[in-house]
Amino acid sequence: MMVNEVKNTCIIIDDMKSHQFLLSQMVEICGLEVIGVGENGKEGTEIFQKLKPDIVFLDMRMPKYDGFFAIDGITKIDNSAKIIAVTADTTSETFGKLNSLHIPILSKPYTMETLQKIIDKELLKN
């Protein structure tokens, strides 16, 4: 008899549908359940508020409301929220801001191994 294992949940916030789809496929292979997707930082904050996922995968560069908008909104709701920045933005300004906020960075393009490591590390944080 199999015991139902409770999966950790996540939401994916990215303005590109192709990135949402690819990351969804990859995180499910890594054992997470995707319970919501959004296309900008405002949607990301609203989805987080409603669904309370274990992890938020957050693109940093999105039109209108960027990743930093979402980080601000999400951490006001739950300052211990687990957020992973998923970005191709390698500027020292973005990296510096994310590091000062203690937000791990998953740089695009990434591998399954890198994704799994960053997920495992985040889930171990309390």
Helices 112-124 and 17-29, axial angle in degrees (round to 10): 70
- pLDDT one-digit tens code per residue, 64-73: 999 999 999 9
- What pTM does this model have? 0.94
Q: Could you give the angle at which helices 67-77 and 41-51 cross, rounded to 10 degrees?
A: 30
Residue 3 main-chain phi, psi, to 5 deg: -90, 135
- Hey, what CATH topology would domain 8-124 get? Rossmann fold (3.40.50)
Over residues 1-45, the pLDDT tens digits come to: 455 567 999 999 999 999 999 999 999 999 999 999 999 999 999
